[in-house]
């Protein structure tokens, strides 16, 4: 009897122990997943709703059409988030990444929409997505052509060129505008965002923009600046209508403008993906970046087909992952599923569309200014003591801000050229890319700055430490 007993011990010791899943693959209990997913949804929702709202208002669309744009954007963003987090074959980084429409596309979408209609915007979006999927395998190997000198300049112009749009929302486009009450309401909204960011605990401070929107809207009621009639008129449940704006139309100048913007989006997406990979300790490699870009492209194709706009990674969610240390991709995937559900509730879209212009304008001023500041932060990593780099920045900024200060500057040019140059973002990207290539011949002019701008405001180099933080965060 002793021999069998003795033999059983090493067998037990040699039995392989269960492998602990990577924190990214951990699936917390449902009672913890739901609130954690809601947090991602709340942080990203304002951006997802604001982009189609700004485009719709700039094009003078009625509220019911704006609601359709918001619903379509939520639907596509949710599907894209599920694709990026869970993955399908060669698509998706399988990381905790929230996807949504990008503010980068606002200016070209408005310009193309005014010139050719929204159907041309959606057609250009489809082409941009197809190109993204096609170039994803080798795009990561060409990032040296988009150093901080180029990406920082473009991102800065993206933010600063949109500030006039925020001002237009504050003053209003109707006769007489919102007057002094509108200016005061916008100022109070901005102050509220600042106070929450400065005084609230970090977990509350992450919702500073949403708190500013809610409080500003509440203050608008006694001022007579709130009109919620559209909420009551909207149906409780309805299907998004992908053909409400007609079948996509493919216009060459519109496609060129959107492709330039999509190049910037791809650079940003690579930076966000690598930032998330560094935080969670997984995914800082070429294949992951390729799968992430393929998911971006596939989602953008779907977005154009469903009457929405280019889809990219959301930097806000990157910061949230870093702060909360809850790194499960399943938490973010559930947030994507919730977005899909919200897309079928038009009343919610109507509530967003009813946000007063001064409130939205005040918040937009903060958001657009922040985008511009991020661009300057990235640009600071370039060697601006080099006169060639300084000249590149000067000319790129000039090209990008000309349409902002002088909208008719390019009026004498053919429409095909004007559609591209009237987009300050496209003009900035073309000038910065061309001059960087001319002066540096495709060589990286700066010391290796790492994978890209860190939206979270900090970097984590120790993947193991990051992983340990996830476990602690999810267990709390």
Q: Is-contact 327 279, C-beta < 8 A?
A: yes
User: Which percentage of the chain shows pLDDT scores above 90?
Assistant: 15
Mean pLDDT value of segment 293-312: 92
What was the pLDDT predicted at 127?
Answer: 95
What was the pLDDT predicted at 471?
Answer: 38
Of 129-133, 337-341, 409-413, the one with minimum mean pLDDT is 409-413
- pLDDT tens for each residue of 30-80: 877 887 787 677 667 767 877 888 888 888 888 778 878 888 899 999 999
Mean pLDDT value of segment 321-329: 73
What was the pLDDT predicted at 469?
Answer: 37
What was the pLDDT predicted at 294?
Answer: 93
Burial (CB count within 10 angstroms: exposed 0-12, middle 13-18, buried 19+), residue 199: exposed
Q: Is-contact 452 151, C-beta < 8 A?
A: yes
Position 122 pLDDT exceeds 90:
yes
User: 237-275 burial, b if ≥16 CB within 10 A, otherwise e?
Assistant: ebebebeebeebbebebbbbbbbbbbbbbbbbbbbbbbb
Q: Is-contact 265 102, C-beta < 8 A?
A: yes
**Residue 177: pLDDT band by 50, 70, 90 thresholds?**
low
- pLDDT tens for each residue of 414-470: 766 776 677 777 788 789 889 999 998 766 544 444 444 444 443 333 333 333 333
Q: How many CB atoms lie within 10 A of CB 286?
A: 11
The angle subtended at Cα 302 by Cα 300 and Cα 303, nearest 5°, is 60
Length, in residues, of the chain: 476
Q: Is-contact 193 359, C-beta < 8 A?
A: no
CA atoms of 252 and 274, how far apart (whole Å): 33
The angle subtended at Cα 408 by Cα 403 and Cα 413, nearest 5°, is 100
Q: Is-contact 22 283, C-beta < 8 A?
A: no
From residue 382, how far is each of 37, 264, 273 by CA, in Å?
Answer: 37, 17, 21
What was the pLDDT predicted at 459?
Answer: 37
Position 9 pLDDT exceeds 80:
no
Q: How many CB atoms lie within 10 A of CB 461?
A: 9
Which residue's structure tokens are 């379509």? 72
Position 265 pLDDT exceeds 60:
yes
Position 341 pLDDT exceeds 50:
yes
Position 395 pLDDT exceeds 90:
yes
Position 255 pLDDT exceeds 70:
yes
Q: Is-contact 94 85, C-beta < 8 A?
A: yes
Name the average pLDDT for the chain. 77
Q: Secondary structure of 294-363 in the HEC alphabet? A: HHHHHHHHHHHHCCCCCEEECHHHHHHHHHHCCCCHHHHHHHHHHHHHHCCCHHHHHHHHCCCHHHHHHH
User: Which percentage of the chain shows pLDDT scores above 70?
Assistant: 78
**Residue 305: pLDDT band by 50, 70, 90 thresholds?**
very high
Where is mean pLDDT largest: 204-218, 224-238, 389-403? 389-403
What was the pLDDT predicted at 84?
Answer: 93
């Amino acid at each position: 009897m002793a021999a069998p007993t003795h033999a059983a011990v090493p067998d037990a010791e040699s039995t392989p122990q269960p492998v602990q899943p990577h924190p990214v693959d951990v699936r917390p209990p449902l009672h913890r997943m739901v609130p954690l997913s809601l947090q991602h949804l709340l942080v990203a929702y304002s951006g997802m709703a604001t982009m189609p709202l700004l485009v719709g208002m700039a094009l003078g669309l009625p509220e019911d059409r704006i609601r359709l744009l918001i619903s379509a954007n939520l639907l596509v963003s949710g599907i894209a988030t599920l694709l990026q987090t869970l993955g399908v074959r060669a698509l998706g980084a399988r990381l905790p990444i929230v996807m949504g429409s990008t503010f980068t596309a606002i200016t070209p979408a408005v310009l193309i929409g005014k010139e050719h209609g929204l159907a041309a915007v959606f057609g250009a979006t489809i082409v941009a997505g197809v190109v993204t999927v096609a170039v994803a395998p080798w795009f990561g190997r060409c990032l040296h052509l988009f150093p901080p000198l180029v990406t920082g300049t473009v991102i800065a112009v993206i933010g600063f060129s949109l500030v006039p749009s925020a001002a237009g929302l504050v003053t209003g486009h109707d006769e007489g505008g919102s007057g002094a009450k509108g200016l005061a309401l916008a100022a109070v909204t901005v102050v509220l965002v600042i106070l929450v960011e400065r005084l609230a605990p970090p977990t509350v401070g992450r919702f500073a923009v949403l708190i500013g929107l809610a409080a500003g809207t509440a203050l608008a009621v006694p001022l007579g600046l709130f009109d919620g009639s559209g909420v009551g008129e909207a149906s409780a449940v309805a299907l998004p209508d992908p053909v409400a704006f007609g079948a996509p139309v493919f216009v060459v100048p519109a496609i060129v403008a959107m492709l330039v913007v999509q190049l910037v989006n791809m650079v940003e997406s690579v930076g966000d993906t690598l930032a998330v990979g560094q935080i969670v300790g997984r995914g800082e490699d070429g294949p992951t970046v390729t799968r992430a870009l393929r998911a971006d492209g596939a989602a953008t194709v779907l977005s154009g087909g469903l009457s929405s706009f280019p889809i990219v990674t959301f930097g806000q969610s990157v910061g949230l992952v870093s702060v909360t240390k809850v790194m499960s991709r399943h938490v973010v995937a559930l947030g994507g599923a919730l977005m899909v559900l919200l897309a079928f509730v038009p009343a919610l879209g109507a509530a967003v569309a009813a946000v007063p212009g001064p409130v939205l304008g005040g918040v937009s001023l903060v958001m657009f200014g922040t985008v511009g500041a991020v661009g300057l932060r990235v640009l600071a990593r370039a060697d601006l003591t080099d006169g060639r780099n300084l000249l590149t920045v000067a000319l790129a900024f000039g090209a990008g801000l000309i349409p902002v200060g002088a909208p008719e500057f390019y009026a004498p040019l053919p429409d095909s050229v004007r559609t591209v140059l009237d987009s300050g973002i496209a003009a900035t990207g073309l000038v910065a890319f061309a001059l960087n290539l001319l002066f540096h011949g495709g060589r990286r002019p700066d010391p290796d700055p790492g994978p890209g701008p860190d939206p979270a405001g900090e970097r984590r180099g120790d993947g193991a430490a990051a992983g340990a933080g996830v476990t602690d965060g999810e267990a709390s």
